[in-house]
Amino acid sequence: MELILTGTGSPLPDANRAGPSTLVKAGDTHILVDAGRGVVMRMAGAGSLPGLLAGVLITHLHSDHICALNDVITTHWVMSQGNATLSIYGPAGTAEFVDRQLHALEPDIGYRMEHHDVLTNPPQVHVTELTPGDSFAVGGVQIATAATEHAPVRPTIGFRLEHDGSTAALVGDTVPCDGVDELARNADVYVQTVIRRDLVEIIPISMMQDILDYHSDVVEAAQTAERVGAKRLALTHMVPAPTPATYPEWVALVAEHYSGEVIIGDDLTTVTV
């Protein structure tokens, strides 16, 4: 199983980091987790495209994690010539969001159907709204879910993917909680969105201070990884985004609390488990 960090950015625009997303390749099964800005271009860079997706998993409905879902839907539709259904899994509210996206795309859908004879139907999308604790399979990948904590965003969920004896936890935006511990326990890789509390606290902008209470600090992520016995910790959605020159500083902070391997995510960083 390969995890490719197709977007390691945050809501803050960054020329080098697309919006939050991770592509999972398990044999011939491709699964996308979240769909932040630029995801389709990063998928191409990762050797995949929406037409190859077996499913899309959504952790929560914050815009930075879903703003390119319409691109995924449209590109999947066009690439399959309208003959395939895109399966999307997410928390309550996902179906309404997807429906509104399809309504927003109605002019484009009409233009393309008028222009291309092979497109006889609008995009076919099947949405499954999940309750924490649900489990299901996408292709040969077994997926478990648990509740995460990103209040006031509710509900939010994380995922644990298992394939051929390998496990990966992708939990999205959350503070440490029982659900994260459950998903990441003994995982081969635990992917966590993080902030640097020490750096955010000195940014004199009130909206930046607001993010302190609903994201895992890098130290908290390290402590979680150590507590649950995760073999590797991959950091993504880092705020403020580090430069390569400061990566050792981030790694050193983690190493004070975690004895496993630390991965600082750049876009298209690949982790094989």
Catalytic residue list contains 108: no
Task: Tell me how far apart the alpha carbons of residues 189 and 237 are, in angstroms, rounded to a whole number.
Answer: 16
Instruction: Provide the b/e sequence for 37-69 (b: ≥16 CB within 10 Å).
Output: bbbbebbeebebebbbbbbbbbbbbbebbbbbb
Could you tell me how far CA 140 lies from the centroid of its own chain? 19
**Of 14, 28, 34, 64, which is the active-site residue?**
64
255: left (phi over 0), alpha (psi -120 to 50) or beta: alpha
Is the CB of residue 234 less than 8 Å from the CB of residue 6? Answer: no
Catalytic center residues? 64
